[in-house]
Structure 1
């Protein structure tokens, strides 16, 4: 296979990966609009076929992404993966039976531009080393504490603020999981810095990768209760950001192009943040199941209707026509 054929195959696989991730996000968002929190939420979620479909779509997207990296360069595949947000936005609006607003398109394009700019300068100019087993365990412990803080803080925020907190935690979990996967691969190939890892260290890293993968998926499911576009944008931004922090802090990596790379990364982050703000302040309607009934305006506030007391007289003083209460039709 020549270079042109490999590039075309990488582009095709990247688009397949993008479609898989976008469909999975829409499926999770629709599930979030029809499920509620509580002790039995996870059990109810696992009993839904739509949930397992979203898991399969996420897995298919990940496999297609890995295959695309095999045939094409990272500088081509990673920006194409950022198209997930652009693909998910019209899909979510279609299932919600509404149109994508101009504000949402502007927010998506701003976020996409910032994400592509951030990806273009992140990652090492030369391949970096993997984390040592000790570093991997420290990173996992710190990340677990950070995710717990974000998740608990999100519970105290209503609506969209809660969704963005869980989305940030989900993206961080996925980014750290990717870094640990690199360590696991090096451990299995016996190419870790400092010598081979003990068997229990390799097994523990594998367990941590599984925990972060499952945790990231469940956190994104919770995040989509606050909408689709803004949480998805935050997930896609916090994932490479977490990986970049690990690379710069522990692997000796730096942004490409030196000082200019840092400036580009800062500008791209500001552009992406502008996009997220536009998506957050937009309509933000949750995708709802087709033919879902509209909530009654009487009970839309979520407060129960007051019931009459039977121990009181039912007669009321006569009132003028201007102040008489409207009759309630049984």
Structure 2
């Protein structure tokens, strides 16, 4: 079987696993207080379910990197957002909106254009040297530290940091995969591979925790940022350090740019659709500030009805509309103001 086809199939299944993990993380973030510590989150079964799904996606992703270059495998990670749309809608008990379908279609078209200009069908064989791996790790930690500083939009900044660390982990993972399966890349056990393995573990766990923090503000926009930052970081390493190249000439470059624009537009539509507030409910839920819609405002106040308890009469306003004004009130008699006390007591006009 063609190596490119194997890489694409494995990437698709990996994206589905990552999408299920993202939905599970978003639901967990919605049920967890922002002040809750990491240890408390680690004690919840939902967290370990998300970790298991992420681990399955990571293993499939590693297998895809064995058969395809970073410039091919990483863009397919954008399908995680496409798969998360129906999964998230089903988890929320709603239908996928028209805007979400439009975003999905644009994302697929853009990915198709990018795949046509991605690296060739040959399996990767280049690996990072020890100085290159250390340089990539140091630069990544500096970028993540800058994005994690306090400021505005922490969810999107944490999502960008998560996407970058995950993309770098993928690039480092490819070095491990090629080195283990291709003995011409150097000795199997060396300081270089041990260092790369430690960096992969640190960045993979860091990306998972950063994404969990980012999903506290919702799933759509943070997942969109993760989806875009991941392939950009990995492709940058592949093109700069691993000798990967895009196919074709100027026409292919223009096609890739058009595909990238379509994919970005699709991701924006998906993120906007998923960020729309849910319908407000009676009594408020904290997110809506206690506002209530007319349908949830409760029953209208009852009108004053004149008549005996056994036989209801029309309201006073209805009688006035027929030209029969109510009797003038008797200041000395008990009863309701503006009503005939006799009518109130006896039930007749």
Whether these two folds match at TM > 0.5 is yes
SS in structure 2 at match of 1:111? helix
Q: Which moved more, 1:84-93 or 1:258-267?
A: 258-267
Q: How far is 1:79 from its partner?
A: 7.1
Q: How far is 1:245 from its partner?
A: 0.8
State which of 41, 45, 49 in structure 1 corresponds to 2:45: 49
Superposition pairs for residues 166-185 of structure 1, below 5 Å? Answer: 166-185=158-177
SS in structure 1 at match of 2:275? coil
Q: How far is 1:242 from its partner?
A: 1.3
Q: How far is 1:68 from its partner?
A: 6.0
Q: CA RMSD in A?
A: 3.7
- Relative to structure 1, the CA distance from residue 173 to residue 258 in structure 2 (aligned partners, 3 Å threshold; closer, same or farther) is farther
Q: Give, in whole Å, the separation in 2 of the partners of 1:7 and 1:115.
A: 15
- Relative to structure 1, the CA distance from residue 286 to residue 172 in structure 2 (aligned partners, 3 Å threshold; closer, same or farther) is farther
Unpaired runs of 5+ residues, structure 2, are 292-349
Q: Give, in whole Å, the separation in 1 of the partners of 2:4 and 2:139.
A: 38
Superposition pairs for residues 1-150 of structure 1, below 5 Å? Answer: 3=1, 16-38=13-35, 40-67=36-63, 82-123=78-119, 126=122, 127=124, 129-150=126-147
| TM-score, length-scaled by structure 2 | 0.69
Q: Which moved more, 1:121-130 or 1:211-220?
A: 121-130
- Relative to structure 1, the CA distance from residue 119 to residue 232 in structure 2 (aligned partners, 3 Å threshold; closer, same or farther) is farther
Match of 1:238 in 2: 229
Q: Contact 1:10–1:67 at 8 Å: present in 2 too?
A: yes
Q: Contact 2:71–2:244 at 8 Å: present in 1 too?
A: no
Q: How far is 1:61 from its partner?
A: 2.2
Q: Give, in whole Å, the separation in 1 of the partners of 2:244 and 2:264.
A: 24
State which of 251, 266, 278 in structure 1 corresponds to 2:242: 251
Q: How far is 1:58 from its partner?
A: 1.3
- Relative to structure 1, the CA distance from residue 209 to residue 77 in structure 2 (aligned partners, 3 Å threshold; closer, same or farther) is closer
Match of 1:165 in 2: 157
Q: Contact 1:35–1:41 at 8 Å: present in 2 too?
A: no
- Relative to structure 1, the CA distance from residue 115 to residue 234 in structure 2 (aligned partners, 3 Å threshold; closer, same or farther) is farther
Q: Contact 1:228–1:286 at 8 Å: present in 2 too?
A: no
Q: Give, in whole Å, the separation in 2 of the partners of 1:20 and 1:197.
A: 30
Q: How far is 1:174 from its partner?
A: 1.4
Q: Give the count of matched residue pairs.
A: 286
Q: How far is 1:130 from its partner?
A: 1.1
State which of 220, 231, 250 in structure 2 corresponds to 1:229: 220
